Homo-oligomer: A and B are copies of this chain.
């Protein structure tokens, strides 16, 4: 057990709250600050993409004993339901033997976690704006406005779990030798919504992540416990098939009728939602180092904000906590080493999931509509079922394993090279599950 410390966590989002629970269980005094009101007292805004919890997330949940509580508020999703433009519906299972990710509403999950954190004895301070931090002694600077009076709050350590636009990182960025990048996608997203049936059931299959892949844009839907779906439309801000073109009701309705004809019945409030909900940005953010001496550390999105296309933002943030926890077990009160090892071991994996997430837009929005790609995935699944020791598909490595992201990425690239060769075999469509193909893959794996 560590010597108890007085620790501030800036940000009461998912990662900040779970970190607070973990630190409290370690015996520390933990105060969580958030610039926003208590999420339990306000309606959650229309700019959310549903979360999916997978193995890495569950691991961190189990470590603090929250997994059973959280499983109650999620819905297992074991496949992609791919809605083609001609009305055809394809299913693509994620794993084997019913392996599933869990769809969770961000608002519902965050509220529940704050309840659980308070029950553990974590103290929350909402509507408290942290504008700056003195890195050398973990002093927070708090006030109503950036240019107004600030007061100081002195802690032993401070964690910046304050997201992609972190103020804690903002201070670190002004240090020498701090590498930083922020890159905005040319694509944005908008939340839409499928209501429940009158009897509370789901209008479309509830155990699927629904995708309408349309090339450079796509619609996606993830189930909620109350029978609804949270939908997300991803598309470019400008150019062909873009948000800038959908400027009035007639154009919007026509666009949906053309590209997503089967949504007409299930998204009745399309026009209202579309023009009410904001068009949100997607940003990729990288930085290094993540820590300052033994005083300050970044965690979650503040250290590595990624695009949402692999469903791993929360899972990667939770895995930061798992790694931090390993370092704490290993190095006890030597926080400087804990922080150093945490950032060094975690950084390549954060970069890898950033890359995987970025690439996955192409997979979701284009490749899932491509017969050849679906066949490739089918061959990989077939081979993997026969030779589980020789082949785990990339998606399973990332989502249903705890293998470091960087290893998963490297092996995935090798597998992809092999599959490129396999897909070029003549008549692969007919002989995809033949002994010839099996032996070819085995040979290429050598």
A182 touches B184 (CB 8 A): no
- Asked if A26 lies at the interface with its beta carbon under 8 angstroms from chain B, I say no
Alpha-carbon gap, A177 to B173, bound state (A):
19
B180 touches A180 (CB 8 A): yes
A281 touches B176 (CB 8 A): yes
Closest partner residue, chain B, to A146 (CB atom): B132
Alpha-carbon gap, A218 to B90, bound state (A):
61
- Asked if A424 lies at the interface with its beta carbon under 8 angstroms from chain B, I say no
A182 touches B176 (CB 8 A): no
Chain A contact residue count (CB 8 A cutoff): 15
Within the complex, the shortest CB–CB distance from A130 to chain B, in Å, comes to 15
Alpha-carbon gap, A176 to B184, bound state (A):
8
Among A167-187, those with CB < 8 Å from B are 173-174, 176-184
| CB neighbours of A182 from chain B (8 A) | 173, 178-181
A179 touches B173 (CB 8 A): no
Within the complex, the shortest CB–CB distance from A42 to chain B, in Å, comes to 23
| CB neighbours of A180 from chain B (8 A) | 180-182
| CB neighbours of A179 from chain B (8 A) | 182-184
| CB neighbours of A173 from chain B (8 A) | 182
The 8 A CB mask of A182-224 against B (1 = contact, 0 = none) is 1110000000000000000000000000000000000000000
Among A270-290, those with CB < 8 Å from B are 281
Alpha-carbon gap, A213 to B352, bound state (A):
36
Closest partner residue, chain B, to A173 (CB atom): B182
Alpha-carbon gap, A181 to B284, bound state (A):
11
Alpha-carbon gap, A166 to B175, bound state (A):
14
The 8 A CB mask of A120-159 against B (1 = contact, 0 = none) is 0000000000000000000000000001001000000000
The 8 A CB mask of A353-396 against B (1 = contact, 0 = none) is 00000000000000000000000000000000000000000000
> CB < 8 Å: which of B147, B177, B181, B183 contacts A281?
B177
| CB neighbours of A165 from chain B (8 A) | 174
Closest partner residue, chain B, to A180 (CB atom): B182
B181 touches A181 (CB 8 A): yes
Alpha-carbon gap, A435 to B178, bound state (A):
53
| CB neighbours of A174 from chain B (8 A) | 165
Alpha-carbon gap, A94 to B180, bound state (A):
36
Closest partner residue, chain B, to A186 (CB atom): B177
Alpha-carbon gap, A281 to B178, bound state (A):
11
| CB neighbours of A181 from chain B (8 A) | 180-183
What residues of chain A have their CB less than 8 Å away from a CB belonging to chain B? 147, 150, 165, 173-174, 176-184, 281
Show 18 residue pairs from A and B whose CB-CB distance is below 8 angstroms, ordered by the A residue: A147-B150, A165-B174, A173-B182, A176-B184, A176-B281, A177-B184, A177-B281, A178-B182, A178-B184, A179-B182, A179-B183, A179-B184, A180-B180, A180-B181, A180-B182, A181-B181, A181-B182, A181-B183
Other than the known A179-B182, A179-B184, A180-B182, what 6 A-B pairs have Cβ atoms closer than 8 Å? A176-B184, A176-B281, A177-B281, A178-B182, A180-B181, A181-B181
> 7 shortest A-B CB distances, which residue pairs?
A181-B181, A177-B184, A179-B183, A180-B182, A176-B281, A179-B184, A179-B182
